[in-house]
Amino acid sequence: MTKETQLKKDFDKKDFNPGASSLKIVCWYFTSMFFFRSGLIPFSSVLVFILRIFGAKIGKDVRIKPFIYIHYPWKLTIGDYSWLAECRIENLAEVNIGKNACVSQQAMLLTGNHNYKTTGFDLITKPIVLEDGVWIGAKATVCPGVIAKSHAVLAVGSVATTNLEAYSIYQGNPASKVKDRVID
């Protein structure tokens, strides 16, 4: 086997399980394009209803803003009173968002990456957990496998590559703790 054939074989590995049939994935793609990413439907209650139809587990009084991108709604759980702005959720693995959490404009939750140590750049997926009261700032990025503990804050434009401690504010790339979060 030539090196080129081996590279192609490694790259074509299909170990990833999207968690749904091809038909469901195609239906979600067009639903997402038409109702979510287009901004055509500005009503949170309608967007929440559609996400539930596709298998998302969503609590009460959750706000979903138009122009949001959610890769696989059946791998998404959102607690009561949470707010998701025009963000990007690349949930190739489970994303669990607690109660009273906020994911701000253009924030990104990434559950997948590639293994640069292999010739086929094998896909690596790890879940993300945002516990109750977590706030992910605008244009911030949460990397695969990160757990943001209760009421942690990831500041605007920051990148969380490791877990965030409870009641702490993180900033920078990579994000580091800058101070405690005090709630009145």
pLDDT at 5: 52
Q: What domains sit in the chain, N to C, each tagged with a CATH number?
A: 20-172 (2.160.10.10)
Query: Against a cut of 0.95, is the pTM above it?
Result: no
Tell how far CA 164 is from the center of its chain: 16
Residues near 170 by beta carbon (within 8 Å), at least 6 away in sequence: 152, 153, 154, 155, 158, 160, 164, 176, 177, 178
pLDDT at 2: 59
Q: Where are the alpha helices (DSSP H) in 12-152?
A: 22-31, 44-53
pLDDT at 4: 55
**Residues of the chain where predicted confidence (pLDDT) is lower than 70:** 1-14
Name the token pair of 99.
């109660």
pLDDT at 120: 84
